[in-house]
Chains A and B, each alone.
Chain A
Amino acid sequence: MKIHIKNGRLIDPKTHLDRKADIFVAAGKVAAIGAPPQNFTASHEIDASGLIVCPGLVDLSARLREPGYEYRATLESEMEAAIAGGITSLACPPDTDPPLDEPGLVEMLKYRAMNLNQAHVFPVGALTQGLLGENLTEMAELSDAGCVAFSHAEKPLDNALVMMRAMQYAATFNLPVWLRAQDASLSRIGVAHEGEVATRLGLPGIPTCAETIALSKILRLAEETGARVHICRISSAEGVEMIRQAKKQGLPVTCDVSANHIHLSEIDIGFFDSNCHLIPPLRSIRDRDALKRGLKDGTIDAVCSDHTPVDDDAKLLPFAEAEAGATGLELLLPLVLKWAEESKVPLVDALSRITSRPAEVLGIESGALSPGAAADLCIFAADAYWKIEPRSLKSQGKNTPFLGLEMKGRVKCTLVGGRIVYKANPS
């Protein structure tokens, strides 16, 4: 299929391109920008007048709930949600049931995803068997099976010796280790940021030091082992500052933040809104503002959706008993655009946090528009408002703190490997 996308505003964060130009797609790749290549006859034309054409989005954390939690969501429903959100590549954490700790499971997930033929799925393998924090997984084999990185998802990995060995072993094969910084003993019973709101509502707290103590351990071990470390979903001002210093010292560390956390704080819990029960917890306004600044100055490399579909029944419980998480695939782009507008970040920079930068973290080619690159594209209307409500979301998870709000930025068309996989209904 040869596609001519005309009259769009092309934004390619990788090359800092931002101009009105046509783009030509052939054989699954970007064939040319500006003028058509020789002998190009489009079989399909997309009129992108008034729209932005950018690389397909790359999401570093999306739970697809397979295998094991199909009652919450299936690969089919969540892949639909991904492409409707303009996401063409996504990494899924290993906390499935069973966890992604065996090559067979990873191959099955890759195979199921490939058959759906939508976004590219990059499984993140379990760092230890069963995510129990004791024995290492067969990381090299898992990598051959398709794992792009190794993590411990939300399961505690408090044993520093196991963490050090895991990093050493991963570094042996140059495999990245992704970790979320949270000390298990300091956060075991907590459900909200230990601060003003948790104190007022009588909710058990998770102190900021649960993040900084774990982060300090991870950074020192990264230094010790030479492992490539990525910090998932940083949540505190102190944490951001530690990453900033580590980067300054030349440590090969990268970091992401959830799209929820750059907009929300503990205050949004209000009177026990279980949609704001998230992991990590929403922290103070000061923390949120530091996350925004860290994202702007590049300390934080990427924004992820932290997509975690939860069914209604699991949310209709007292706050602490309600399951943590929010749907996010379809909100990633609007939330990043909102941040860009509020923080006065040029669009080309803002989009890099959900395209080229996470692609670098993942070590994939995607996230660029230059000729020869895979034609994974997202075409969106930056000024189109839409209301976040259950029926406007394709994901099986309908719970988000942003429910009922109007958001700006609607994906009109998504291409994966030069194929149109999603087209919004004309409205």
Chain B
Amino acid sequence: MQGQINKNGELQHLLTIEGLSAAMLHHILDTAESFVSVTEREVKKVPLLRGKAIFNLFFEPSTRTRTTFEIAAKRLSADVINLNISASSQSKGETLLDTVNNLSAMHADMFIVRHAQSGAAHLIANHVAPEIHVINAGDGRHAHPTQALLDMYTIRHFKRDFHELRVAIIGDIMHSRVARSQIHALTTLGVPEVRVIAPKTLLPKGVEHLGVHSYHDMSKGLKDVDVLLMLRLQNERMQGALLPSAQEYFKYYGLTPEKLALAKPDAIVMHPGPMNRGIEIDSAVADGPQSVILPQVTFGIAVRMAVMSILAGS
């Protein structure tokens, strides 16, 4: 049971992009667009979620995602409570659902959940009271829907139309919840060609079933691409026989100005952050004219405001 759409066809939770319609995705992006102006005003607040209690439930460390959710919630006038669970209850042996039930008893209206295990947000959504909303802020390797939405917002902002784009996702697809959500979003929005580029050790089996073409060679994979979605390569991937060294990875899969030149001249470069300069991306690209990495962060707040307001209104 997916359970993120309620019986009226509205978004009750946001757990994954998978299964959402293109119309729903555009509705979220349109709503975000209306919030971008709010974030540019001098008084950056609207009273949409006044009196609502939003719990940032982070079972895994995060700075950027948690902060942007917090800012988004505050701009909607909600009360935000940040909980860094890895340091408290979990170490005392409390189960995930016990933690959630206790917080529900404090009259939470919305949970924003980040957890190291795939499916954690689904589990919580399946067990909270019907009036509570759950936003998945990243579960294991599975999904990170708000990141994918802000990426789609960014692409739409710079490229306007999805229907004639060639998009490449580059890096550790295997362990990436961002990549999985991006793939669902891109294919749903009608991008005709989505590529994934990585060495075979970082591509999950049967990834083609998600509707992408896989490449192992940057020079082929980047050819004529309009959008480059870079992924973060975690240091621990150097263990477990996935990769020999960061140096070799950078040489073959790191995005340098030379490799970027293979893409279309007006191609944009995105990254969900935090970046490893010199491992997956060269500083000359990250800070270069084709990089839209900082606008991504700004749009991220508007997109998260949009998701929260849509959920609260359902």
Among the listed A200, A205, A207, A271, which residue makes an inter-chain contact with B122, where contact means beta carbons less than 8 Å apart? A271
Asked if A271 and B1 make an inter-chain contact with CB atoms under 8 angstroms apart, the answer reads yes
Residue B195 lies at the interface, judged by CB distance under 8 Å to chain A: no
Asked if B95 and A313 make an inter-chain contact with CB atoms under 8 angstroms apart, the answer reads yes
Which single residue of chain B is at the shortest CB-CB distance from A313?
B95
7 new A-B contacts at CB < 8 Å, known A203-B142, A316-B123, A319-B117: A200-B180, A202-B180, A271-B2, A317-B96, A317-B123, A318-B123, A319-B119
Which single residue of chain B is at the shortest CB-CB distance from A273?
B1
Q: Can you list 19 contacts pairing A with B, beta carbon distance less than 8 Å?
A: A195-B205, A195-B206, A198-B204, A199-B206, A200-B180, A201-B118, A202-B139, A202-B180, A203-B142, A204-B141, A207-B205, A270-B2, A316-B95, A317-B95, A318-B115, A319-B118, A319-B119, A320-B117, A320-B119
Tell me the A residues contacting B by CB distance below 8 Å.
Answer: 194-196, 198-205, 207, 270-272, 313, 316-321
Asked if B123 and A270 make an inter-chain contact with CB atoms under 8 angstroms apart, the answer reads no
Q: Tell me the bound Cα distance from A321 to B123 in angstroms.
A: 12
Residue B310 lies at the interface, judged by CB distance under 8 Å to chain A: no
Chain A residues with CB below 8 A from B95, complex form? 313, 316-317
Q: Tell me the bound Cα distance from A194 to B95 in angstroms.
A: 28
Within the complex, the shortest CB–CB distance from A313 to chain B, in Å, comes to 7
Q: Tell me the bound Cα distance from A194 to B119 in angstroms.
A: 17
Residue B282 lies at the interface, judged by CB distance under 8 Å to chain A: no
Which single residue of chain B is at the shortest CB-CB distance from A189?
B240
Within the complex, the shortest CB–CB distance from A421 to chain B, in Å, comes to 38
Which single residue of chain B is at the shortest CB-CB distance from A207?
B205
Among the listed A199, A203, A316, A319, which residue makes an inter-chain contact with B207, where contact means beta carbons less than 8 Å apart? A199
B95-110 at interface with A (beta carbon < 8 Å): 95-97
Asked if A202 and B143 make an inter-chain contact with CB atoms under 8 angstroms apart, the answer reads yes
Q: Tell me the bound Cα distance from A202 to B179 in angstroms.
A: 10
Among the listed A199, A205, A316, A321, which residue makes an inter-chain contact with B209, where contact means beta carbons less than 8 Å apart? A199
Within the complex, the shortest CB–CB distance from A101 to chain B, in Å, comes to 30
Asked if B118 and A202 make an inter-chain contact with CB atoms under 8 angstroms apart, the answer reads yes
Residue B24 lies at the interface, judged by CB distance under 8 Å to chain A: no
Within the complex, the shortest CB–CB distance from A316 to chain B, in Å, comes to 6
Residue B192 lies at the interface, judged by CB distance under 8 Å to chain A: no
Residue B210 lies at the interface, judged by CB distance under 8 Å to chain A: yes
Within the complex, the shortest CB–CB distance from A193 to chain B, in Å, comes to 9
Which of A198, A201, A203, A320 counts the most chain B CB atoms within 10 A? A201
Within the complex, the shortest CB–CB distance from B146 to chain A, in Å, comes to 16
Chain B residues with CB below 8 A from A202, complex form? 118, 139-143, 177, 180
A316-B97, A317-B95, A318-B123 known; A199+B210 contact, CB < 8 A: yes
Asked if A200 and B18 make an inter-chain contact with CB atoms under 8 angstroms apart, the answer reads yes
Q: Tell me the bound Cα distance from A203 to B143 in angstroms.
A: 11
Residue B120 lies at the interface, judged by CB distance under 8 Å to chain A: yes
Within the complex, the shortest CB–CB distance from B198 to chain A, in Å, comes to 13
Which single residue of chain B is at the shortest CB-CB distance from A314?
B95
Q: Tell me the bound Cα distance from A196 to B204 in angstroms.
A: 9
Chain B residues with CB below 8 A from A196, complex form? 206, 209
Chain B residues with CB below 8 A from A319, complex form? 117-119
Asked if B205 and A201 make an inter-chain contact with CB atoms under 8 angstroms apart, the answer reads no
B153-205 at interface with A (beta carbon < 8 Å): 177, 180, 204-205
B108-136 at interface with A (beta carbon < 8 Å): 115, 117-120, 122-123, 127
Q: Which 3 A-B pairs have the closest CB atoms?
A: A202-B141, A272-B119, A318-B117
Chain B residues with CB below 8 A from A205, complex form? 204-205
Within the complex, the shortest CB–CB distance from B220 to chain A, in Å, comes to 22
